[in-house]
Chains A and B, each alone.
Chain A
């Protein structure tokens, strides 16, 4: 189904053109697939010993272990980032100016840098500062700090997107600041932010693969180890890619559905964020004052 507005009901000539176009496009696609298969075949990628390891239980167990490590790091980082992000968002909206400044500094500093650099620092820097931990924690700390800065922006945008009347009404009812936050503002904001939070968590799950850089044995690292052993990098890394694509695609579909449902239900719609790449927009919308 074409959901765009670019073509109305086609006439006979238009239909014929689309039909011819479809045939040409299909032939081109098949040609690309054929070339890929030929390449694979010419380079001996269909040889049995390249694929057999992936059917052996011991190898699969190695991958599943990597998967477990990936999920363990992603899960811990998600929980920590959500908590810290929430606190930082509240601090950015606090009434005491120095608290606001500190929180702003935190967000701008960590949101603006490459996650790669942050994880690297945890791994190379923290031990020299006397903080010796398992590599697992270096990855989790790096992911948590970076994502908490981003989630703080999401939370803040969500809170600011609520009508001012909500907090006015709450104080008119005699609620204190924290009561109004806890009972009126945050529950509504969270509902609006949910799709944005989910897509940020998808990004976080993808970013867990940066563990490969500090030799944390997550999925990608284990795939590389296994690829070195069996000389089958194409299959090993493709397996990891397929895992990520399946999980993230499912989560993205979920987030989109959720967003559509909310738009139907609450009219106002959720705040507009899709994935990390568009997060700066939220920040920009939330505070046109920063630039």
Chain B
């Protein structure tokens, strides 16, 4: 176990990178998800098409392929960002497609009468969506949004493929340096649990506080 405590600072730095990757990407992904979801329920056909194209391509491509494509291929067409920014862009784009689908499911779960009543009050389409539908839709899908967050904590490990060293990458380097795989692996695995389990509890609290039972 010494090897873990000797390198505690490296581990903490790795955890910090995992956390910052996750939080930043989730915020960006949430914005992407909202926009794409409203595209997908829009009355304007081309926007619906763009929305479903985005969701169906990004969601069905492995995250590893997206990482490699963005970081190693797109510089060839002049799209070039630092590894950290690239990781955030890719994680956000990928997670955003899942969030979009979840929010859309939430929108579809809102009772029809709500939109009708809002329109009867004279609200315009964007107002109906923003003021009446989305607040209810989001509350209906808090639990799946939470599990997307937890999945993102784990998915952020793929940033290592483009040389952003987070928690798993720290373990990888230390295993290579010290040749003590077992304690390092267990420490990294426990670190993930330390991140995911409290997130799960917190999300459960949020859900109980805000979710509406249908």
Contact = CB atoms under 8 A, between A and B. Distances in A.
Interface of A: 2-8, 10, 14, 18, 21-22, 25-26, 29, 36, 39-40, 42-43, 45, 108-109, 112-117, 120-121, 124-125, 128-129, 202, 206-210, 212-213, 220, 223-224, 227, 233-234, 236-238, 240-241, 244-245, 248-249, 252, 274-281, 284, 291
Interface in B14-57: 41, 43-48, 50, 56-57
24 contacts: A2-B43, A6-B115, A6-B125, A25-B50, A115-B154, A116-B168, A117-B157, A117-B168, A117-B171, A120-B175, A128-B181, A206-B61, A206-B63, A213-B64, A220-B65, A224-B68, A241-B65, A244-B60, A244-B61, A275-B98, A277-B147, A278-B148, A279-B147, A284-B143
A281 B147 contact: yes
Contacts of B148: 277-278
A112 B192 contact: yes
B10 interface: no
Contacts of A26: 46
A212 B182 contact: no
Q: How large is the interface on B (under 10, 10 to 19, 20 to 34, 35 or more residues)?
A: 35 or more
B33 to A, nearest CB: 12
Given A114-B155, A277-B148, 17 more contacts: A5-B110, A7-B125, A21-B43, A21-B47, A112-B197, A114-B156, A116-B158, A117-B188, A124-B176, A128-B179, A220-B62, A220-B64, A233-B72, A233-B73, A234-B74, A244-B61, A280-B151
B151 A116 contact: no
B192 A117 contact: yes
Contact of B57 (A202, A207, A245): A245
Pick the most buried of B64, B72, B157, B181: most chain A CB atoms within 10 A of its CB: B64
B165 to A, nearest CB: 12
Given A209-B65, A237-B68, A240-B65, A249 B179 contact: no
Contacts of A202: 60
Interface in B56-82: 56-57, 59-66, 68-69, 72-74, 76-79
B213 interface: no
Given A4-B107, A117-B192, A249 B60 contact: yes
Given A5-B112, A114-B155, A281-B143, A234 B77 contact: yes
A54 to B, nearest CB: 14
B92 interface: no
A124 B119 contact: no
Given A125-B181, A276-B151, A277-B98, A114 B129 contact: no
B73 A116 contact: no
Contact of A43 (B78, B101, B146): B78
B116 A120 contact: no
A250 to B, nearest CB: 9
B83 interface: no
B133 A6 contact: yes
Minimum-distance CB pairs A-B, first 10: A125-B181, A280-B147, A116-B157, A114-B157, A248-B60, A233-B73, A206-B62, A25-B46, A209-B62, A209-B64
Given A8-B119, A43-B77, A124-B172, A113 B64 contact: no
Contacts of B135: none
Nearest to A279: B147
Contact of B196 (A22, A112, A212, A274): A112
Interface in B173-214: 175-176, 179, 181-182, 185, 188-189, 192-193, 196-197, 200-201, 204
Contacts of B112: 5
